[in-house]
């Protein structure tokens, strides 16, 4: 009996850990020197869900790994902006249980609501890279192109409304827009 309880406990821990966003590759724009990168690094380091950070000064990129706490992409963006820069690209690596995705479909992952745009219907299982394509996470010119890939108004507002079958919710829910990344 004790062996079964131990095994069940391990499965629960493993399943919980696998259901989260594990990594992010963040590219910041406007970095011109090591001091600029250091300012962004220090700000990102203060986030409670960040476990470690590796930097690529040549690519103005940061590789973030996360602990078990929920990841907040808006908090990442805010920390970059607080350092005086902007997010040029944010690619998350997340583990998916068998999940069907399609254009304009919303899914919940680790308490975050994601809306896929510009994708064909397919099934994700295991680790996949997903790119945030909301305004403030990509250049404005690209955001305008992405807007043309969805029929739902939530891309403009960033929150789920009547267009997204969210009529029963008393509080607007933040929705992040994604594309699959290589």
Q: Would you say residue 23 lies in a domain?
A: yes
Instruction: Reduce the DSSP state of residue 118 to 3 states and report it.
Output: coil
What string of pLDDT tens digits covers the 182 residues of the chain? 333 333 333 333 333 333 479 999 999 998 988 899 999 999 999 999 999 999 987 778 999 999 989 999 999 999 999 999 999 999 999 999 899 999 999 998 888 999 999 999 999 999 999 999 999 999 999 999 999 999 898 999 999 876 666 555 567 889 999 999 98
Number of domains, the chain: 1
CA distance 167 to 76: 29
CATH number at residue 111: 3.30.70.100
Q: Would you say residue 24 lies in a domain?
A: yes
Domain enclosing residue 43, as ranges: 18-180
Whole-model pTM: value is 0.84
Per-residue model confidence (pLDDT) at position 109: 84
Per-residue model confidence (pLDDT) at position 7: 34
Instruction: Reduce the DSSP state of residue 152 to 3 states and report it.
Output: coil
Q: Would you say residue 49 lies in a domain?
A: yes
The backbone torsions φ and ψ at residue 64, rounded to the nearest 5 degrees and listed phi first, read -105, 135
Q: Would you say residue 141 lies in a domain?
A: yes
Q: Would you say residue 7 lies in a domain?
A: no
103-107: long-range contacts, CB 8 A cutoff, minimum separation 24: 103/149, 103/150, 104/150, 104/151, 104/152, 106/160, 106/164, 106/165, 106/175
CA distance 135 to 156: 8
Q: Would you say residue 13 lies in a domain?
A: no
DSSP class per residue in 30-95: S--SHHHHHHHHHHHHT-TTEEEEEEETTTTEEEEEE-SSPP-HHHHHHHHHHTT-EEEEEEEEEE
Q: Would you say residue 157 lies in a domain?
A: yes
Q: Would you say residue 9 lies in a domain?
A: no
Per-residue model confidence (pLDDT) at position 18: 36
């Amino acid at each position: 009996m004790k062996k079964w309880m131990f095994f069940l406990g391990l499965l629960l821990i493993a399943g919980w850990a696998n259901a989260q966003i594990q990594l992010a590759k963040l590219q910041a724009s406007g970095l011109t020197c090591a001091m600029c990168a250091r300012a962004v690094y220090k700000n990102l380091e203060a986030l409670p869900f960040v476990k470690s950070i590796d930097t690529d000064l040549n690519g103005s990129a940061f590789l973030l790994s996360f602990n078990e706490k929920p990841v907040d992409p808006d908090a990442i963006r805010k920390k970059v902006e607080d350092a005086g820069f902007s997010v040029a690209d944010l690619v998350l690596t997340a583990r998916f249980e068998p999940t069907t995705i399609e254009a304009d479909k919303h899914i919940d992952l680790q308490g975050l609501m994601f809306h896929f745009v510009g994708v064909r219907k397919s099934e994700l299982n295991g680790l996949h890279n997903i790119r945030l394509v909301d305004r403030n996470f990509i250049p404005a010119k690209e955001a305008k192109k992405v807007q043309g890939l969805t029929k739902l108004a939530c891309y403009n507002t960033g929150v789920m409304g009547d267009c997204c079958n969210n009529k029963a919710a008393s509080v607007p829910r933040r929705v992040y827009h994604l594309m699959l990344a290589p």
